[in-house]
Chains A and B, each alone.
Chain A
């Protein structure tokens, strides 16, 4: 059967997940498995002088940096995060070692008895020490800014966000003969493999990573599982027992990576007729104790910082700051939601400053096809942002409500955001760093099997990637086999990240299937290894941040309506309307899942999800204190897609997973500003913060 793309199919994992049959890492039974319990630093910053380990009973061990055969480095993008803290500790909760043994309760007891002697240093919690600095320009900002007649400056900040995947971090490791075999809750099987190979200094064929069912990730399982795997690998070569490390929710919230908090300063330079000559933007992100992937998060934040507007002269500066806190890392959007939030609010506030309508000011600078990007690349795809805006305004009755809610005492507000998301790895990363290769083969019975390293953690790529191959080949669905990744079988098609799965790997799968179809011979075994070849126009210089940053951009518009209770400062979300250009949606229902989920998560970040660090330790550690929106907190969301097929993706598809997160916070904040008749510069906009705004400005 060949599907009509608009028609949605049943997700292949629906039944196993809804019935509870799916086997997650924690469900895998292995009777002789030992438990691994981290011993964590009690101080934020200091020299580690001595580790005092209690007398350990038989079968219990303490594993630390001294047991590492290879490099004491967790292989993330930067190589600065040690697997176990050795000479120094850099954040409260950093792992110093692990207690390994057969009884979990005993392990917990022993871990609590390990004591460290320190020489403490003064920790830094504020964004003052930059460890990554980036800067680039477009046009001639220095000269133009000096001649400006007026300037307008503002500063915006965003908070931490915890992923709250349904399944906390979990890892099982065992020896299959000599081979270290890993089953874990993860996004990137080959990242885990590399991390283990590096810390053990072993050959690649000694490590195998197999993906069981994974319950959500949102970026939180992009890098952290590499750290857990490296820690367990050191233990397993020593004690040769299967090992389990499964985090409780509290441990997961307290010690795993989160979204980078940010502070963005924007100045607009204006001429005598109030035309925007250009903008200067500084984006600061809190990277925590180790760089990890913060330089790439910073890149994305900077590249996106003009959002959907074209300014002729641009000066962009960015810093990732080292603080003595849990390292920040990947989370849906990867830095860009932070800078998009700032630009959306800024353009609205600038309109007020200039006494013009925000919509008029936005339209004047809205990105058009052929415009130059902030990094001097070109927006090549047909841009249909105006259509997206018109549709969203029509769906939400935006203009009428905007006028009505501006009346005094209305306590209601409506806000619109426009936004973009660059799909795939930044710059030429797809062809220079990842080099995806996809293997597809056919057996004598004409059954086709293909392999990727993409993890389906709920977002639906097991369904969609399979469909791309089925529909390209034009053969029945049950003639195509597509299983979860196993690094011993599949070649690397790269990490499940950066909204690259459908646009890049989907495109690659379609290409491989097309090539197989071209050489198809009934009844013969055939195999193709299809390498990724990027579009020729992608030229990128990472050092100067110049060129085309992404193969394609997805676009969107969110409209959010809120009501405000002046007695309690609580805000209620009354309505959400969205329009997206994701190229061509292969499966609309899966896309609607991303649309609702992404916006819900963005709204949570905007008004509910408060994660405060106090003396280097998070204050909200449980699901009753770190609150995410429940079903009753959100209204029914209406979403429309406008078809705009992308020539380089499978069946015209672009990325969608992160796009749906990008605009929720600014649309909410703009709506809130109308409801409370005051400006907002910070999220989460909790009732406590709203009270502060109203009290201070009244």
Chain B
């Protein structure tokens, strides 16, 4: 017997989660597709389902000294339109799926789905964003980068739900590219985000993340630290490429092949580094 729970408030949701192992249904744009059976039949769930998409308590965007707090059931479209949200997130969200999907889907769902092709993971990981995990026993925070640890693998306990995302605004200039198979309604084949801060030709911050090229979003702080403090004239494109090339380990599937994904990831990285050397990131 599968139960479908529609709680009235967060407290009730957490009480249910304390007793039942549930799928958490938010916008449903991934889950409903994954559980689809056949035309005319109900989707098939193998465990209980908790619906949080109508919880007003989880629908907010606010800013304080810690960062920008986005409630778990806040839709992409609200994030796209909010003056509080840094442009890099808006830029990434605008290229996700289509307007009708963005009216339903959420960042928390994108994180929990933990697909290597999850588009918001790329800026979340690069900018050190955190998830807030809430249960009846309290809450804890974790970096998105650590929370997602593999394909469809996240560090969520059965009694927890993602209640909030905390964005940490950075003083970075960004270069972002999503490469899908077409311009809309497209699952990412490879994506790239570079962020940099330069003062007097010296690199003060340097970050790179790749999507869809490994089991999770690729980011490596060790490599980044190596380039922080360097003068842009001493930045060697081949050195950067050689550092990142082994971390980009894509697969061949029905959407693309590993050679293409690797090559394009490296082309975009090269473009990012060249732009730094030439004095500016425009995007």
Contact = CB atoms under 8 A, between A and B. Distances in A.
By CB atoms of chain A within 10 A, which of B181, B185, B271 has the most?
B181
B20 interface: no
A624 B185 contact: yes
A379 interface: no
B254 A619 contact: yes
A608 B255 CA distance: 11
Binding site secondary structure of chain A: loop
B182 interface: yes
Interface string B38-82: 111100000000000000000000000000000000000000000
B257 A688 contact: yes
Interface string B13-44: 00000000000000000000000011111000
A105 interface: yes
Interface stretch (B145-153, B193-201, B227-235, B261-269): B261-269
Contacts of B185: 624, 627, 630
Interface stretch (A360-368, A433-441, A564-572): A564-572
Contacts of A631: 184
Contact of B39 (A246, A569, A625, A629): A246
Contact of B271 (A567, A608, A621, A625): A567
Contacts of B181: 608, 627, 686
A246 B39 CA distance: 8
Contacts of B91: none
14 contacts: A104-B38, A105-B41, A108-B37, A246-B39, A248-B38, A566-B267, A567-B264, A568-B177, A608-B182, A624-B187, A627-B185, A632-B183, A686-B181, A691-B260
Nearest to B180: A627
Nearest to A103: B41
Contacts of B38: 104-105, 108, 248
A688 B182 contact: no
Interface of A: 26, 104-105, 108, 246-248, 566-570, 608, 612, 619-621, 624-625, 627, 629-633, 686-688, 691, 695
Interface of B: 37-41, 98, 177, 179, 181-187, 254-257, 259-260, 263-264, 267-268, 271
By CB atoms of chain B within 10 A, which of A568, A612, A624 has the most?
A568
A348 B215 CA distance: 45
A331 to B, nearest CB: 20
Contacts of B37: 105, 108
Contacts of A108: 37-38
A41 B225 CA distance: 56
B131 to A, nearest CB: 26
A624 B181 CA distance: 9
Nearest to A626: B254
Binding site secondary structure of chain B: loop
By CB atoms of chain A within 10 A, which of B41, B182, B187, B259 has the most?
B182
B255 A569 contact: no
B141 to A, nearest CB: 33
Contacts of A627: 181-182, 185-186
Contacts of B271: 567
Given A248-B38, A625-B187, A630-B98, 15 more contacts: A104-B40, A105-B37, A246-B39, A246-B40, A566-B267, A568-B264, A568-B268, A569-B264, A619-B254, A624-B186, A627-B182, A630-B182, A630-B185, A633-B182, A688-B260
Contact of B177 (A248, A567, A691): A567
Contacts of B177: 567-568
Contact of B260 (A567, A629, A630, A687): A687
B183 A691 contact: no
B182 A568 contact: no
The 10 closest A-B pairs by CB, nearest first: A619-B254, A688-B260, A632-B183, A627-B181, A630-B184, A567-B267, A625-B254, A568-B179, A632-B184, A633-B183
Nearest to A690: B260
A105 B36 CA distance: 12
Contacts of B186: 624, 627
Contact of B183 (A619, A625, A630): A630
B33 to A, nearest CB: 9
